[in-house]
């Protein structure tokens, strides 16, 4: 009897051995307990035992890799025994009764081969066929026939298999860059190892390398621990299981686990890409010729193009030429080709260390690689996989496959840096020093491999790398500044009032009042955002940053770039339309809407009263409008609030509905707090337990505001309404706001002022902090402890 409860706790080999023993007994009972069918007159004599019957394992059981809670993939092979149906029933029912999931079929050798010759997934499974019990000769015939069929039909089946993997990768993603990776189906996962063996079985590729086999074995270990600890059959390494799986594998923490998974996935994906490239080339029918000369086209000193890849020239001397690797990489990237695997191996084994500082020719080659754009990504991955990139930049090892838990980031740190350099290559004509832009894009997050604020710790690291590359002292200082302040422009534009002269002065002072640095920072911010995700660099953020750059450039005395339209447009009679008079308040409330980049601008005019900004924010939240910037001005007893909004579900705001909501809220007939609490309950947005963080910046403003309070907290319905209500409840006016959502977090900055014009004293500040904390948890000002 099989102990199904103990089975998941066994190691892989013990688990497979236990199942093999159990299945062998089941087959013996099934065959022994089934009476032979009486033959027809003149037919062969009845057979007993396992002659002509073989129980064959395919899939993970066939490979002896069955994970805990895995399915049994079994094929009952026969050579025409008439009682095979009864044998199959006697075999399958005990498996089902034991509660084991089963994928089964009954086939003759000819039937199995016919299926495998038309279905690439079935063929892939049968390549792993392994005899569990029964007729060994019959199982041997099945395996021989399956291999022959696979090789015969490879030109048709492999392209189908390739298309299946590409479609699955498009749906699931790349294993190396997922925070919750599917260990089996993501590109670079376990399925890739199986496909590599299938291509080798078709005699179109070599057997997977030792490095690929090690990566595959590690992913198997991770999957076994995941399934064994979660008690389920899933292959997705979800966040809550990562820490216990890491501990079970002897790894320091979940980030180390995710990094090792990424490295394994990248290795398998890299080998799969190269293997597919060679298989596709082999499957292309070329005209036969007795003598077919291979054309070799010179690309650079010691580097030639041969076919669709780059190789070393016959007279190249890699052991005596430290710049050859970069020269070959530059030639490949510029020609949109790849280095041949053999060339990569030769360079990895024979290239001498690069002199320090780098010779100008080597630095020039490296810059040519970075300037090649998208084609540089593949070439740099080749250098990385062979260890050549880490030889040039030893600091690279600290960020290799380093995960980024931030929901905006779609790549690991190292791949993000390469993608940023590729994005920067499209902006080189916008700056005076494209070389500094490219290198800063590649190094801007290098500090994430060290403890501390990555911008701060990355500054000296980048300076050291730039010095090693051979840049002069002034260029080294500029590169260090770019790394140190690469977040300055987007952070300021999204969290400060860019119309405030104090904001402009602070940016100018931070960059040393250097217009060329401002130009480079702007391009770097664009490249960084583009390499992060579409959410990280939306048209809205691009508009904000461009507006800030134009203002700072004007303050520096240079020729300002063409300034975009204001982030918050001035109100105008063309967009403000009074509604029909329905009482004093109703007639005074007017709403206008105008289209702006990446959303709409809503302008609300109403009689001034404390908390007007909060009231308007609450009405906008009820109408499913996300506010990203807000400003309130007061004149002649009326407040005018200007809000930049984006509809959460794509429905454009309706002025009449918004005006009715503001009027009802001002009259007290619309219970905003209660309605927003209900909205929050309906959407269940608050699942975070991290405490909020509140900080004050009192020296960064001018004009009417006396301070800036920044709130970082979990995003939730009506948060802006509650925060502004909390501030107003403590006697402060909110004159402006900058709103940003980073994944599940909100970063809201409020320009505040005392009506009396006096600064915010420590006691008032403490009360505001307490009220804001209450608001971030869904409470109202009345709930704040006094």
Q: What is the pLDDT of residues 551-560, one digit of tens each?
A: 999 998 855 5
| pTM for this model (two decimals) | 0.82
Instruction: Report which of 708, 682, 713, 681 is spatially closest to residue 697, judged by C-alpha positions.
Output: 708
Residues 30 and 81: their CA atoms lie apart, in Å, by 14
Q: What is residue 345's three-state secondary structure?
A: helix
Q: 686 pLDDT band (50/70/90 cuts)?
A: very low
Spatial distance between the Cα atoms of 384 and 402, rounded to a whole number of angstroms: 14
CATH number, domain with residue 484: 1.10.3210
| Alpha-carbon gap, residue 235 to 717, rounded angstroms | 34
Per-residue pLDDT tens over the stretch 436-466: 999 999 999 999 999 999 999 999 999 999 9
Q: Could you tell me the pLDDT band of residue 225, with boundaries at 50, 70 and 90?
A: very high
> What percent of the chain is predicted at pLDDT more than 70?
89
- Residue 734: pLDDT over 50: yes
Q: Please give the residue that has the higher pLDDT: either 706 or 519.
A: 519
Residues 79 and 189 in one domain: no
Over residues 398-445, the pLDDT tens digits come to: 999 999 987 678 899 999 999 999 999 999 989 999 999 999 999 999
| Residue burial 539-548, b: 16+ Cβ < 10 Å; e: rest | ebbbbbbbbb
CA distances from 356 to 149, 387, 737 (A): 57, 19, 50
Give the pLDDT of residue 468. 97
293 has a pLDDT exceeding 80: no
Asked if residue 637 belongs to a domain, the reply is yes
CB 676 within 8 A of CB 645: no
Per-residue confidence (pLDDT) for residue 683, from 0 to 100: 56
Gap between the Cα atoms of 532 and 428, Å rounded = 19
Whether residue 147 is found in the same domain as residue 174: no
Q: Say if residue 401 is in the same domain as residue 272.
A: no
Region 646-674: what's the mean pLDDT?
89
Tell me: do 147 and 215 sit in the same domain.
no
Residues 6+ apart with CB under 8 A from 191: 165, 168, 184, 185
Q: Which range marks the domain in which residue 263 is found?
A: 170-282
Same domain, 123 and 185: no
Domain count, the chain: 4
Domain identity same for 527 and 588:
no
Residue 32 pLDDT: 83
Tell me the pLDDT band of 46, cut-offs 50, 70 and 90: low
Both structure tokens of 60? 């993970």
What backbone torsions phi and psi does residue 710 show, to the nearest 5 degrees?
-110, 130
Nearest to 202 by CA among 108, 268, 138, 280: 280
Mean pLDDT of all residues belonging to the chain: 88
Residue 129 lies in a domain: yes
Q: What is the pLDDT of residue 77?
A: 96
Q: Which of 152-166, 362-376, 563-577 has the highest mean pLDDT?
A: 362-376
The pLDDT, as a whole number, for residue 3 is 81
Q: Which CATH number belongs to the domain containing residue 270 in this structure?
A: 1.20.120.330
How many residues appear in the chain? 786
CA–CA dist 785, 770 (Å, integer): 8
Give 73's pLDDT tier (boundaries 50, 70, 90).
Answer: very high
pLDDT at 583 over 50: no
- Alpha-carbon distance 695 to 673, whole Å? 25
Element (DSSP H or E) covering residue 111: helix 109-116
Instruction: Kindly report, residue by residue over 607-650, the tens digit of the pLDDT.
Output: 988 889 999 999 999 998 888 888 888 888 899 999 988 887 77
Sign of the CA dihedral running 76, 80, 86, 90: negative
| SS3 state of residue 382 | helix
pLDDT at 45: 54
730 in Cβ contact with 769 (< 8 Å): no
| pLDDT above 60 for 80 | yes
pLDDT band at 572 (very low <50, low <70, confident <90, very high): very low
Radius of gyration of the chain (CA): 33
Task: Please indicate, yes or no, if residue 729 is contained in any of the structural domains.
Answer: yes
In a domain, 203, yes or no: yes
Residues 78-98 as b/e (b if ≥16 CB within 10 A, e otherwise) read bbebbbbebbbebbbebbeee
Integer Cα distance of 143 and 152 in angstroms: 14
Residue position matching structure tokens 């709103």: 739
Confidence of residue 579 (pLDDT cuts 50, 70, 90): very low
pLDDT value of residue 659: 93
pLDDT at 717 (0 to 100): 75
**What DSSP state is assigned to residue 353?**
P
> 88-92, 268-272, 503-507, 689-693: which has the minimum mean pLDDT?
689-693
Instruction: Please indicate, yes or no, if residue 657 is contained in any of the structural domains.
Output: yes
């Amino acid at each position: 009897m099989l102990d199904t409860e103990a089975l998941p706790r066994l190691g892989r080999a013990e688990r497979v051995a236990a199942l093999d023993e159990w299945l062998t007994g089941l087959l013996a009972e099934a065959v022994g307990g089934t009476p032979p069918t009486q033959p027809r007159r003149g037919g062969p004599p009845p057979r007993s035992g396992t002659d002509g019957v073989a129980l064959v394992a395919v899939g993970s059981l066939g490979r002896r890799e069955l994970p805990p809670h895995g399915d049994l993939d079994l094929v009952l092979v026969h050579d025409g025994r008439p009682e095979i149906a009864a044998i199959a029933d006697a075999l399958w029912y005990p498996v089902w009764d034991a509660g084991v999931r089963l994928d089964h079929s009954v086939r003759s050798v000819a039937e199995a081969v016919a299926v495998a010759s038309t279905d690439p997934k079935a063929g892939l499974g049968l390549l792993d066929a392994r005899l569990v019990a029964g007729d060994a000769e019959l199982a041997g015939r099945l395996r021989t026939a399956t291999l022959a069929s696979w090789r015969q039909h490879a030109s048709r089946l492999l392209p189908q298999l390739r298309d299946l993997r590409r479609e699955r990768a498009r749906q699931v993603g790349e294993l190396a860059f997922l925070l919750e990776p599917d260990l089996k189906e993501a590109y670079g996962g376990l399925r890739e190892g199986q496909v590599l063996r299938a291509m080798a079985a078709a005699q179109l590729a070599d057997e997977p390398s030792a490095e690929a086999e090690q990566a595959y074995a590690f992913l198997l270990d991770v999957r076994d621990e995941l399934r064994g600890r979660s008690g389920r059959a899933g292959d997705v390494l979800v966040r809550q299981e990562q820490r216990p799986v890491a501990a079970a594998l002897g790894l320091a923490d979940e980030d180390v686990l995710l990094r090792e998974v990424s490295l394994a996935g990248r290795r398998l994906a890299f080998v799969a890409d190269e293997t597919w490239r060679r298989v596709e080339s082999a499957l292309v029918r070329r005209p036969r010729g007795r003598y077919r000369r291979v054309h070799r086209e010179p690309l650079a000193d010691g580097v030639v193009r041969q076919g669709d890849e780059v190789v070393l020239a016959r007279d190249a001397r890699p052991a005596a030429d430290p710049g050859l690797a970069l020269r070959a990489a530059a030639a490949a990237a510029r020609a949109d080709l790849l280095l041949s695997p053999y060339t990569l191996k030769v360079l990895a084994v024979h290239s001498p260390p690069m002199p320090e500082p780098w010779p100008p020719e080597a630095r020039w080659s490296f810059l040519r690689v970075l300037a090649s754009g998208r084609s540089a990504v593949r070439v740099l991955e080749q250098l990385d996989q062979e260890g050549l990139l880490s030889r040039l930049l030893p600091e690279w090892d600290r960020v290799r496959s380093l995960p980024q838990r931030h929901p905006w980031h779609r790549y690991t740190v190292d791949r993000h840096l390469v993608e940023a350099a590729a994005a920067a290559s499209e902006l080189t004509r916008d700056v005076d020093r494209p070389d500094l832009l490219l290198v800063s894009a590649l190094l801007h997050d290098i500090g994430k491999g060290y403890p501390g604020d990555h911008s701060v710790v990355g500054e000296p690291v980048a300076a050291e790398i730039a010095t090693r590359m051979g840049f002069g002292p002034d260029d080294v200082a500029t590169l260090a500044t770019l790394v140190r302040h690469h977040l300055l422009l987007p952070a300021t534009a999204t969290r400060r009032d860019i119309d405030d002269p104090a904001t402009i002065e602070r940016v100018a002072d931070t960059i040393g009042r250097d217009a060329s640095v401002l130009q480079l920072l702007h391009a770097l911010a664009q490249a960084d955002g583009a390499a992060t995700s579409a959410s990280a660099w939306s048209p809205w953020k691009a508009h904000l940053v461009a507006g800030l750059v134009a203002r700072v450039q004007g303050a520096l005395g240079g020729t300002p770039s063409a300034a975009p339209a204001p982030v918050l447009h001035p109100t105008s009679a063309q967009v403000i339309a009074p509604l029909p008079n329905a009482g004093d308040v109703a007639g005074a409330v007017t709403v206008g809407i105008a289209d702006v980049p990446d959303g709409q601008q809503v302008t609300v005019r109403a009689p001034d009263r404390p908390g007007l900004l909060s009231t308007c924010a609450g009405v906008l939240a009820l109408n499913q409008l996300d506010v990203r910037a807000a400003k309130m001005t007061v004149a002649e007893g009326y407040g005018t609030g200007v809000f930049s909004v984006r509809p959460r579900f794509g429905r454009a705001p309706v002025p009449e509905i918004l005006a009715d909501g503001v009027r009802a809220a001002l009259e007290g007939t619309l219970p905003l707090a209660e309605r927003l609490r209900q909205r929050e309950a309906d959407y269940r947005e608050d699942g975070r337990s991290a405490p909020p963080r509140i900080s004050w910046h009192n020296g960064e403003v001018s004009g009417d505001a006396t301070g800036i309070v920044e709130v970082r907290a979990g995003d939730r319905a009506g948060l802006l309404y509650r925060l502004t209500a909390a501030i107003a409840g403590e006697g402060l006016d909110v004159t402006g706001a900058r709103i940003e959502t980073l994944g599940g977090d909100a970063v809201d900055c409020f320009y505040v002022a005392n009506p009396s014009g006096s600064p915010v004293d420590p006691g008032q500040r403490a009360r505001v902090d307490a009220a804001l904390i209450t608001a971030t948890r869904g409470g109202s000002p009345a709930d704040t402890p006094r």
